[in-house]
């Protein structure tokens, strides 16, 4: 991992994901009708897996359509990199309106990781665009069953920055409460937003990234939401709490062991999972935070991250962090998805409060203890070398 660079102005990209039938397109329609969404480029990314049946636009990747709302919309069933490059070049040449943000709607069958990889891996795309956030829609009626049966829906919810509950007017109250509890355990940090008939304010979904584009003020606390991992939101015991340098995981302990161990410790209101509890996909997910109160040695930290990627890349669903680095006055932000990381960036300044490094991890099939112990070894090695 290279040394951090100063950030450059890049266009924010929001990924709208969610399982089949969860209401993504209905939410998108309402967003596009909002005045605050003018000058947005919308990409409907089908991956060629299912036919386009949105009844939203009729467009092709070669001919973006200008909607009445002032938004551009196009579909892509091939290379998302080519589409983003082409849209930016057309924007630069004045061939299309100068959109200020991008929203990508993915198919309900999609793993979010390939789209996030696209924003990180292509040099031109990474130089012109930045991830603002992942928005996942969850069907309040069928969401619990989908989480039980579809690992894609679990991953979509686990990596999201915002969770949008749809069809809440059709859901049983007890079942909805159980779904909320399960989502909060799966993803402690993502705000849960109710969409009435698909209607939701853009301000509730956008601006989930590290920068507010209007004034470039880093909002570290809102981006990481590390405190969400420190406060239990359900009645399960968590054993001994961590000391000074460690954030507390909501569900990284023995009672939530891997699915193959057969644990069935979740009790979600009146919803009975029965035998499905033995194969609960979200029992394989761990979300937690680590905090450290002393400046980090950058070369050692970078080697540690690279070692994690080499050893556990597929199981590192998402990593976000803001670091205090030895020799640097400004904080350094890092963000990774599985094997790929955004280039680290120096932020303009520290927010109010104590300066400390904070890392948020979302893991699959990997124990929290392994990460904590390796981090502690890295820190101890740096201290001994001084």
Residues 8-24, mean pLDDT to the nearest whole number = 87
pLDDT of residue 142: 92
pLDDT of residue 256: 34
Cα(254)–Cα(263) distance, rounded to whole angstroms? 9
Residues 234-249, mean pLDDT to the nearest whole number = 34
Residues 346-367, mean pLDDT to the nearest whole number = 89
Helices 80-93 and 113-121, interaxial angle, to 10°? 50
| pLDDT tens figures, 337-353 | 998 888 888 888 887 77
- Note whether 190 and 265 are same-domain residues: no
- Note whether 173 and 274 are same-domain residues: no
SS3 172: coil
pLDDT of residue 107: 77
Look at residue 237 and tell me if it is in a domain: no
Residues 77-84, mean pLDDT to the nearest whole number = 83
pLDDT of residue 185: 92
pLDDT of residue 52: 38
CATH code of 24's domain:
3.40.50.300
- Note whether 211 and 247 are same-domain residues: no
For residue 56, pLDDT over 50 is answered with: no
- Note whether 95 and 192 are same-domain residues: yes
pLDDT of residue 244: 37
pLDDT top residue among 348 and 247: 348
SS3 127: helix
For residue 212, pLDDT over 90 is answered with: no
| pLDDT tens figures, 110-168 | 788 888 888 888 888 988 998 999 999 999 999 999 999 888 899 999 999 999 999 99
CATH code of 305's domain:
3.30.1220.10
Look at residue 66 and tell me if it is in a domain: yes
pLDDT of residue 357: 95
- Note whether 204 and 279 are same-domain residues: no
- Note whether 169 and 98 are same-domain residues: yes
Long-range pairs of 111-114 with CB within 8 A, sequence gap ≥ 24 = 111/152, 111/155, 112/15, 112/17, 112/136, 112/155, 112/156, 112/159, 113/155, 113/159, 113/317, 113/337, 113/338
For residue 192, pLDDT over 90 is answered with: yes
- Note whether 206 and 152 are same-domain residues: yes
Look at residue 5 and tell me if it is in a domain: no
Look at residue 1 and tell me if it is in a domain: no
Look at residue 6 and tell me if it is in a domain: no
Q: What is the pTM of this model?
A: 0.80
Strand 192-194 versus strand 211-212 pairing type: unpaired
Cα(278)–Cα(259) distance, rounded to whole angstroms? 6
- Note whether 149 and 27 are same-domain residues: yes
Look at residue 317 and tell me if it is in a domain: yes
pLDDT of residue 322: 94
Residues 257-282, mean pLDDT to the nearest whole number = 40
Look at residue 3 and tell me if it is in a domain: no
- Note whether 187 and 299 are same-domain residues: no
- Note whether 159 and 247 are same-domain residues: no
Confidence at 94, pLDDT banded by 50, 70, 90? very high
- Note whether 126 and 203 are same-domain residues: yes
What total of structural domains would you count in the chain?
Answer: 2
- Note whether 139 and 190 are same-domain residues: yes
| Domain of 174, in residue numbers | 11-215
């Amino acid at each position: 991992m290279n040394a951090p660079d100063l950030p450059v102005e890049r266009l924010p990209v929001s990924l709208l994901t969610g399982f089949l039938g969860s209401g993504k397109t209905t939410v998108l329609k309402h967003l596009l009708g909002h005045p605050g969404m003018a000058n947005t480029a919308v990409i409907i990314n089908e991956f060629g897996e299912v036919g386009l049946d949105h009844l939203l636009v009729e467009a092709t990747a070669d001919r973006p359509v200008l909607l009445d709302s002032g938004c551009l919309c196009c579909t892509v069933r091939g290379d998302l990199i080519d589409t983003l490059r082409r849209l930016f070049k057309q924007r630069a040449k004045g061939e299309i309106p100068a959109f200020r943000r991008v929203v990508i709607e993915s198919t309900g069958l999609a793993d979010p990781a390939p789209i996030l990889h696209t924003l990180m891996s292509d040099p031109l795309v990474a130089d012109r665009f930045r991830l603002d956030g992942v928005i996942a829609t969850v069907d309040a009626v069928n969401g619990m069953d989908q989480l039980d049966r579809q690992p894609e829906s679990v991953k979509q919810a686990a990596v999201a920055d915002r969770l949008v509950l749809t069809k809440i007017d059709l859901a049983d109250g007890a079942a909805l409460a159980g779904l909320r509890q399960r989502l909060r355990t799966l993803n402690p940090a993502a705000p849960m937003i109710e969409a009435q008939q698909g209607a939701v304010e853009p301000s509730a979904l956008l601006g989930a990234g590290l920068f507010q584009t209007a004034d470039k003020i880093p909002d570290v606390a809102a981006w990481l939401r590390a405190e969400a991992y420190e406060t239990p939101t359900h009645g399960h015991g968590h054993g001994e709490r961590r000391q000074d340098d460690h954030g507390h995981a909501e569900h990284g302990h023995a009672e939530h062991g891997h699915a193959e161990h057969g644990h069935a410790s979740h009790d979600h209101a009146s919803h009975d999972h029965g035998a499905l509890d033995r194969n609960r996909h979200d029992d394989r997910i761990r979300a937690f935070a680590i905090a450290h109160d002393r400046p980090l040695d950058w070369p050692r930290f970078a080697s540690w991250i690279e070692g994690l990627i080499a050893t556990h890349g597929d199981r590192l669903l998402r990593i976000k962090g803001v670091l205090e680095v030895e020799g640097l006055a400004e904080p350094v932000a890092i963000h990774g998805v599985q094997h790929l990381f955004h280039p680290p960036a120096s932020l303009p300044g520290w927010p109010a409060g104590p300066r400390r490094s904070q890392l948020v991890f979302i893991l699959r099939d990997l124990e929290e203890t392994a990460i904590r112990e390796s981090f502690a070894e890295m820190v101890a090695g740096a201290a001994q070398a001084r």
